[in-house]
Chain A
């Protein structure tokens, strides 16, 4: 039986008049890689800071290992955190940065040295351990921040967009390495990002944050295949999910690759006019508009002429209900 590492209940945070998070609840299992996915300004970092104890919630509880830590100071929570800015101590060298959390726990000197060196080795930065922070590259800084987080045995890792300041190539390899480290340590990670590629490659479970609460919590593939709301269908995926009204109360939603371009005149096919084309590798994405005015994105092997009319049939789709006031939701 897996145990619950982190539990959050009814968390609410208000800044002035703006409610950033409202009644948010969450459970993260021990050893899980949990990714909080959401656009900028949705309170992802605030949520992480409240897990860490850097910010106080206006309401709700935070439990780590079953213990209520809502009123505990950050230094009493035994968590490790990596900030987007890395927050390396500029007045210390690489070694000083990695050793800092151990020194705060009054470990014996030899143990501190050994643990710091091991962490540096795991992240392949043992060769720059005596360099000042100001002299190392962005990728190295990110590694130092990670080494400082893993050097002790925290009960929980919190990572706030740690890869977003890296260039595309470094980011790709850092992603793989992060996953490797998490597996090797067998530790629980909570990772905040706005980048769905990171969510797709890193997460065991993804929580999509929208308007101050989780709109869907599931493995990434499930979110991609069965987005719970129209908003998620729009937000997740390289191209937004297509939504076509079925009747007064429901719409059907389908991914571009769930539809097929067929010969004109085929039975049960829908026609649409090609408005623009985007080529990604061998694949052509056709941005079309149906006669009713609804825009659809389709995927095709060959380019079509802009302005031409094509026909497509949908092989697979989800049905979404359309209540009077709320966002359209998935009918499972």
Chain B
């Protein structure tokens, strides 16, 4: 039976709504704040280890089986599914409650800062419901950037420390990309048995690969969190609908279909939704005794208690909870004695160039739906050339194209032409599927100008201070962005195509906004000592030993590889440490 089917029959119990204290009726071992990649994985492992867990999720309950619009076409949706401020990634995107702007929960950007935007859903499973499913391991160099070239900071762990947890995570969630080992620099090959077959490259993927290969750049199977081979408790992909809508059959990785159902099945998990946690509470000895939250529907404030607290609310929200947890011992926020909370905020560098290719025009009609995630991608190829390139860190390339289900932007195929009738129909048929979009995703080096703090004035609807962001891309990033443009234009040229629209060659102008790649990480980083980090290598707070962080906040660097797989692997490793401590009676 599919995991998703099990989930359909499990209603997350709403615990003591209206009670002054949830914990008055139920002693919990661990409170997990957040239900996305970090929170979902933490709850999965802790409940399987026999610990009683209360999960507090700020968003509403969400049922992917009933709510996912799997085969609906754009004609059925308002505005043909086009993006609006209410649904910025299109009507069918799984995200609940706005994404860039959540009702009643503002954030601010400091005066003089470069733009920063912050994507938040308010739903069980968080961003794992809509994410891009790209699941690339960080490589050995990614954990020791400072040792490599003096820039950024080293992690307190190595690739080898995390590798077994990557293996486990890939086997649990289902990831494509199985291929003979390539041994590419800093692009780990997973051991046999970890990955599933990627579907064959589509026509446009075979096409672009030839240009990259002519430039000496390898193209390899994408690692996507999509099930393509028979797997216990999971359905396989039906190669039909976009993963961003979520998946009603649980064929891709979502916390709500893969992690929470088995956690619920242990009988050890209680989930309370609409619980917006804003404070970690301490006992007289300075240990965490629980958290305080507001019920978003009633506006009532509640406290819950447990023997340990895990924060996995997302890097921004986790930092906000710590900063709002003020006490005599921590007047500037919990674990913030050295001013480290909110610091070293990072995102990925993002840049897009799109091309149109006569050589792809009028290909015989074919089904290009694929597994939604790209079937192939281009890992960073210039590790030994950074000196001559003039920027220190690299990027990988995510490439979209093919005969996708038409959307409202389909008329762009015709450019400035003013044809009508038969000419218009013929032109559209001819050019349909001939556009390829090249998207660079690059490493960002943490810098002193990128951080978040509490806004001194602005509060959310319930009176809790909100985050104020500060952002400034460094030259390492803007030069890298400029190189993306140069590379993509060369690829487009080699393939006989033309760029679509104006191409901005100034990396400073072409680079994405801070936060726009939705890879914001690093606000409570791990480290080797309490002087330069908030948590240790297990996500355990230096200042409060029974407080853990298991989301992207703990990341020390932001390699080009998308962070979710690493967040999952780290959360599993940290949760195991927590569970072992509990078994030894150390909580």
A and B are interacting partners: no
